[in-house]
Structure formats: C-alpha cells, structure tokens
C-alpha cells in the first residue's frame, strides 16, 4: 500500500477518524501517511505543550533524537510559531533544519490548528530532494484540519 492517491488517503483518514478514539487515531493516521506514499520516508505528529513541541506518534525506519523542539527552533518550531506550512526542498540549504537523518533531503511541516491556535503539526521527511509539491500541501492541510479535533 505504498501508492495511495491523495483522495483515497483523505477518505481513508476521514473514515478512520469517525470510528477511532483520539488515543489510537493519531498513530493510525501516521501509519496511513507513511505506508501510503513512497516518497514519505518518516512521518511524525508533534503536539504543542507549553513552549515545546513534543513528539507523539511516528513511523519510519528509525527514531529521531528530536523528541522535544522549542517553539521557534528548526523548521518544525518555525511552522508552529507562524501557523503556516513550511516546505523545504533541500534541507542542506535551510539553516533552520535540525538534522535527524543523513538520508533526509526535503521536509514538509503542516500545523494542526483550531482557529488560529497551533495545537501540533504533521512533520514529514523525504529521502528525495524537492519531494513535496502543492498537492502534498493541500492534502496534508486537509489532514491537519481533520486532526484538529483529535489533539
């Protein structure tokens, strides 16, 4: 199941969130994203706790050492502070990037918001340069919107 279309994945997540309790739903969503898109090499959800992003459910070939990220630090902290999606085509050229894996080439971070308050974010790495495009932005922003009532 590494080649889901955006619409299929969106419907799958929507259906899942209707029946799963919040405690298990987030991990299930992470699994769908990771397993459904080959270019997504690591997927995690961070939750805002005070002035820190705390890693929640994730899926990838290895764990990240960045389990807590202060707001404003790195690409994740920038997205949480601004409330806007961050798209990095080449992490080696972005000074904000907090290196997690040597294989990572690009990253997308999508805030999960309720009104204007950032509750958390979806963080996705790819081993491919410039892996993410407007389709990913639109899709992941819809997913983040669906997750806003589960955080």
pLDDT band for 1, please (50, 70, 90 cuts): very low
Residue 95 included in any domain: yes
How confident is the prediction for the chain on average, in pLDDT?
A: 91
Instruction: Tally the domains of the chain.
Output: 1
The helix/strand/coil state of 134 is helix
What are the pLDDT digits (tens) for 83-98? 999 999 998 887 776 7
What range defines the domain where residue 14 resides? Answer: 6-150
Given this model, what pLDDT does residue 89 score? 94
Strands, E assignment, 12-100: 42-49, 52-60, 68-70, 86-88
Residue 97 included in any domain: yes
Residue 120 included in any domain: yes
pLDDT band for 109, please (50, 70, 90 cuts): very high
Residue 12 included in any domain: yes
Residue 142 included in any domain: yes
Whether residue 139 contacts residue 10, with contact meaning beta carbons closer than 8 Å, is answered with yes
Q: Is the pLDDT of residue 2 over 70?
A: no
pLDDT band for 3, please (50, 70, 90 cuts): low
Residue 1 included in any domain: no
Given this model, what pLDDT does residue 91 score? 85
What are the pLDDT digits (tens) for 24-65? 899 999 999 999 999 999 999 999 999 999 999 999 998 888
What is the model's pTM? Answer: 0.93
Whether residue 97 contacts residue 86, with contact meaning beta carbons closer than 8 Å, is answered with no
Whether residue 58 contacts residue 64, with contact meaning beta carbons closer than 8 Å, is answered with yes
CATH of the domain at 25: 3.30.450.40
Residue 130 included in any domain: yes
């Amino acid at each position: 199941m590494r080649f889901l279309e955006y619409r299929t994945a969106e419907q799958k997540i929507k259906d899942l969130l209707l029946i799963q309790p919040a405690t298990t739903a987030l991990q299930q969503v992470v699994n769908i994203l990771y397993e459904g898109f080959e270019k997504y090499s690591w997927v995690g959800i961070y939750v805002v706790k005070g002035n820190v992003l705390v890693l929640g459910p994730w899926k990838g070939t290895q764990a990240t050492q960045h389990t807590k990220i202060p707001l404003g630090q790195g690409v994740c902290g920038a997205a949480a502070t601004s409330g806007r999606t961050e798209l990095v085509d080449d992490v080696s050229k972005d000074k904000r990037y907090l290196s997690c894996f040597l294989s990572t080439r690009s990253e997308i971070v999508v805030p999960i918001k309720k009104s204007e308050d950032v509750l958390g974010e979806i963080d996705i790495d790819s081993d491919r340069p410039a892996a993410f495009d407007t389709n990913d932005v639109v899709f992941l922003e819809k997913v983040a919107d669906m997750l806003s009532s589960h955080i």
